[in-house]
Chain A
Amino acid sequence: MRVLAPLPVLVPLLGAALSLLLSRFPRAQRLISIAAIGGVLGVAVALLVLADASGAVAVPVGDWPVPQAIMLVVDRLSALMIAVASTVGLGVLLFAVGQGVADGPRSSPVSVFHPTFLVLMAGVGFAFLAGDLFNLYVGFEVLLTASYVLLTLGGSAPRIRGGITYIVVSLMSSLLFLAAIGLIYAATGTVNMAQLALRLGDLPDGTRLLLHGMLLVAFGIKAAIFPLSAWLPDSYPTAPAPVTAVFAGLLTKVGVYAIIRTQTLLFPGGALDTVLMWAALATMLVGILGAIAQTDLRRMLSFTLVSHIGYMIFGIALSTPAGLAGAVFYVVHHIVIQAALFLVAGLVERQGGSTTVARLGGLATASPVLAVLYLVPALNLAGIPPLSGFLGKLGLLQAGVAAGGALPLALVAAGVVTSLITLVAVSRVWSRAFWRPPQQAEHLETPADAAADSGPDVGDAADGTGTDGTATGGGDGPRGSSRSGLGTTRRGDRDAAWARQVALATGGEDAELPADPDSLDQRERMPRGLVGATAGLVAVSVALTFLAGPLYALTDRAAVDLLNRTPYVEAVYGDGGPASSAEDVP
């Protein structure tokens, strides 16, 4: 186990270096990435089994003596997080590979995608394993820097616009985190988390509250808790589908993980629990009300992402074993479900040429597989029994009721309301984009539409009719062809979809010219790689329902460990525990 612990960081980093060297060979890059992430998944599952069986293990890097060494700590929580992260990473990577294959080498993301993705996964793994605050900061920086590159991939205007917001906000949170580390070091003389757990309790209350607050604000920005969440819906939707999926699944959850550590290991006793509960309440309600106002599928999903972070913060703020177990279970569920939904949004964009719900229609006829792939995770997100979303929410609500008090009960009520509004938001998308006849899709005829924006409605018209795309496409053909040169693009994928649609439309206009059989084929049947990767993640999310019993038992044990704190500290200090101050651990 001591050998396995550094691998979730090492393997992706080495893979990134190798795939950077082989940037001229896309096939080799793909193989390296898949092998690296698959390897991490295997290691993570092994770590999880071992950590669950034999308890937490800490590895001092370079075998330095314990309080001075850089520690990698594997306990149930971190092993579970790495396992889920690498599962989602693998699914998203397969989607990205499928997309690259389907769109051909010209429009595929530049060769920098694979190395950057691997660095991102290494950063995520490092953040989960880091045993001291400064290395947590380094892990954050590694994954954030990789995410800057991924978010601005291709450098189109909307991505730059969204990327600048994201970069500046992330930098601010990192600086705040670094300043907090400096102050914590000044106050306690250590950044090792196990040692901090022993020493922070001795500080005066005011100092402790300040340090605690600074850490929570820094992590709250990363986790997108309500007053600090405005950056997320503006930046995430602009990125390519697989990038948005991995961001939505993983990056905010790394922030949640850091908050769990802060609340349990570093500052137990729940000094700021009330503040966190208010923040959770606001996050849930404001987020979901934002979601229901959106008409773009990706923006809607981004707002539900913010909203459901509130559930996890609620569970953490309860500071009870049941609450923490529910929060950890919800994190696992939400990572998978949100990544799957964003991948589905990518497929919708590919099939319909747009993610604007007003322009979509009849997708259930055009692609029943896509409809199923959307419906299952969407209902899961809303918490329909018996899916894992329901189980996670039920656990949190029960923990809230058990905790009693006005504020937890208000949060329980808000949780139910949020769940209902989530159902409204996702089923509105369902009934519009998938269920209504394509003829009812609203087509916009604004001057902007005429002047600059032609692709999507041509795409819709051709697409909405399902199999008979060429006939309707022919009707729109003249418009489409005359304006196709001016088409405005927001995203590369969409551009490719439009190009196909426009080609179809112009092909259909001239009856003698047969439409390009390849593009027809691509439009009607989505590439298997993309559907397979998405279906895999959806299957994992459904599997979480069947595995909920063992998983909940695991998160229960993890929560007891977290609140107990001794397993973590003893793992770092060795079996005997810290000789001098063992009595400090409650």
Chain B
Amino acid sequence: MTPTIVLPVVIAGLYAAGVYLLLDRSLTRVLLGFLLLGNATNVLVLSASGPAGEAPLVGHAGSGEMSDPLPQALILTAIVITFGVSAFLLAVIHRSWRLVRQEVVHTDEEDRRVAARTPRHADAMDPDDIDPVDLAPGDRAAVVGRPTDVEERLAQRYPDTASDDVGLPPTRGRTT
């Protein structure tokens, strides 16, 4: 059998697109990038089994004509792991959205602290000590308020906006 060029091209394309998405600041894109990379790796493992053959069932084909079953077993395990982890990552992203109404990677605390080392802030090393005014707008909510504070304030500001948690009980701000 001749080696196929389709698999390497697919693997390369998936890796390229996955890395591109992974470098984005939006967490949903990061998740999509991770899924693409996971699939690229699965196809890579699949291509490790060599040329395609008959289904690896005893009695169905001669041992020389079977395709190698081990990489398929490995891929199945890897798919299950990827599936579970992406579900968890999705939950974390949703939680991040609920907390700060942002689903982007946050500014690094360390960078900001170094940048904030003016004499007035010379000893403001704890993220909690930093003046919220000095922060990037997207990071303020995370530092200023607890989750409930954010939700309450948002509920006051946008009373008509529906909660993004479909099916969950309404947040405290709206019931009181």
Q: A134-B74, A185-B48, A452-B144 known; A356 and B126 CB under 8 Å?
A: yes
Number of interface residues of B (CB under 8 A): 52
Q: Which residues of B from 97 to 115 have beta carbons under 8 Å from A?
A: 99-100, 105-106, 108-110
In the assembled complex, the CB of B118 is this many whole angstroms from the nearest CB of chain A, namely 11
Chain A residue contacts of B74, Cβ below 8 A: 134, 181-182, 185, 191
Interface readout for B137-148 with A: 1 if CB under 8 Å, 0 if not?
Answer: 000001111110
Q: Is B154 an interface residue (CB 8 A)?
A: no
Name the distance in Å between A56's Cβ and chain B's nearest Cβ.
Answer: 25
B145 and A488 contacting across the interface, CB-CB below 8 Å: yes
| Chain B residue nearest to A442 in the complex (CB) | B123
User: How many Å from the CB of A219 to the closest CB on chain B?
Assistant: 17
Q: Please, what's the 1-or-0 string for B36-51, where 1 marks a CB less than 8 Å from any CB in chain A?
A: 0110010011011010
- Does B66 belong to the interface (CB within 8 Å)? no
* Chain A residues positioned under 8 Å from B60 (CB to CB): none
Are A489 and B146 CB-contacts (below 8 A) given A152-B92, A178-B41, A448-B131? yes
* List of B residues within 8 angstroms of A157 by Cβ: 99-100, 142-143, 147
Q: Does A444 contact B (CB under 8 A)?
A: yes
- Closest residue of chain A to B33 (Cβ to Cβ) is A168
Measured between beta carbons, the chain B residues less than 8 angstroms from A171 are: 34, 85, 89
Residue A446 is within 8 A (CB to CB) of chain B in the complex: yes
Q: How far is the CA of A174 from the CA of B109 in the complex (A)?
A: 26
A271 CB → nearest B CB, Å: 22
Is B131 within 8 A of A234, CB to CB?
no
Which residues on the B side are within 8 Å of A570 (C-beta)?
none
B174 interfacial contact with A, CB 8 Å: no
CB distance from A144 to the nearest CB of B (A): 8
Tally A-B pairs: CB < 8 A.
142
A240 interfacial contact with B, CB 8 Å: no
Q: When chains A and B are docked, how far (Å) is the Cα of A165 from the Cα of B81?
A: 19
B41 touches A138 (CB 8 A): no
In the complex, whether A148 has a CB less than 8 A from a CB of chain B is yes
- In the complex, per-residue mask of B8-30: 1 if CB is within 8 Å of any chain A CB, else 0: 00000000000000100001001
Q: Which of A140-173 contact B (CB under 8 A)?
A: 141, 145, 148-149, 152, 155-158, 160-161, 163-165, 167-168, 171-172
- The size of the chain A interface, using a CB distance under 8 A, is 52
- Bound together, the chains give a CA A441 to CA B78 distance in angstroms of 52
| Cross-chain contact of B30 among A155, A163, A168, A358 (Cβ < 8 A) | A168
Tell me whether A186 and B37 are in contact (CB under 8 A). Answer: no
When C-beta atoms are compared, the residue in chain B nearest to A359 turns out to be B126
Nearest residue in A to B97 (C-beta to C-beta)? Answer: A160
From known contacts A157-B147, A356-B125, A446-B124, infer whether A175 and B37 are also in contact, taking CB-CB under 8 Å: yes
User: A residues within 8 A CB of B106?
Assistant: 161
Asked if A273 is at the interface (CB within 8 A of a chain B CB), the reply is: no
| Chain B at the A interface: SS class | helix
Please name all residues of chain A whose beta carbon is closer than 8 Å to the beta carbon of B121 when the two chains form the complex: 446
Q: Is A2 an interface residue (CB 8 A)?
A: no
Q: How far, in whole Å, are A174 and B74 apart by their CA atoms in the complex? A: 14
A141 CA to B99 CA, complexed, in Å: 27
Determine whether B133 belongs to the interface, using a CB cutoff of 8 Å to chain A. yes
Confirm or deny: B95 has a beta carbon within 8 angstroms of a beta carbon on chain A.
yes
Q: Is A448 in contact with B88, judged by CB distance below 8 angstroms?
A: no
A296 at interface, CB cutoff 8 A? yes
| B163 on the A face (CB < 8 A) | no
Q: How far is the CA of A490 from the CA of B85 in the complex (A)?
A: 25
- With an 8 A cutoff between CB atoms, is B67 at the interface? no
Is A234 a contact of B108 with CB atoms below 8 Å?
yes
Whole-angstrom distance between the Cβ of B11 and the nearest chain A Cβ? 9
B116-166 interface with A by 8 A CB criterion: 120-121, 123-133, 142-147
Contacts of B105 in A (CB 8 A): 164-165
Q: Considering the chains assembled together, what is the distance between the CA atoms of A359 and B81 in angstroms?
A: 43
Report chain A residues within 8 Å CB of B89. Answer: 167-168, 171
Interface: A295 (CB within 8 A): yes
With A145-B84, A295-B125: A158-B142 Cβ-Cβ less than 8 Å: yes
A178 near B132: Cβ-Cβ < 8 Å: no
Cα distance A459–B35 when bound, in Å?
Answer: 46
B61 located at the interface, meaning its Cβ lies under 8 Å from any Cβ of chain A in the complex: no
Chain A residues lying within 8 Å of B85, measured Cβ to Cβ, are 141, 145, 148, 167, 171
B146 touches A488 (CB 8 A): yes
Q: Contacts A157-B100, A160-B95, A442-B123 known; A488 to B144 CB distance under 8 Å?
A: yes
Q: B residues within 8 A CB of A168?
A: 22, 30, 34, 89
Known: A179-B44, A449-B129, A490-B128. 10 other contacts (CB 8 A): A141-B81, A145-B84, A148-B85, A148-B88, A160-B92, A178-B45, A185-B71, A234-B109, A447-B131, A488-B128
**26 A-B contact pairs sorted by A residue (CB < 8 Å):** A148-B85, A156-B146, A157-B99, A157-B100, A157-B143, A158-B142, A160-B96, A163-B92, A164-B105, A171-B34, A171-B89, A175-B41, A178-B45, A178-B78, A182-B44, A182-B71, A183-B48, A186-B50, A234-B109, A294-B125, A446-B121, A449-B129, A453-B129, A456-B128, A488-B146, A490-B128
Q: Which residues of A contact B (CB under 8 A)?
A: 134, 138, 141, 145, 148-149, 152, 155-158, 160-161, 163-165, 167-168, 171-172, 174-175, 178-179, 181-183, 185-186, 191, 233-234, 294-296, 354, 356, 358-359, 442, 444, 446-449, 451-453, 456, 488-490
The 7 closest A-B pairs by CB, nearest first: A186-B48, A182-B45, A448-B131, A295-B125, A157-B142, A356-B126, A182-B48
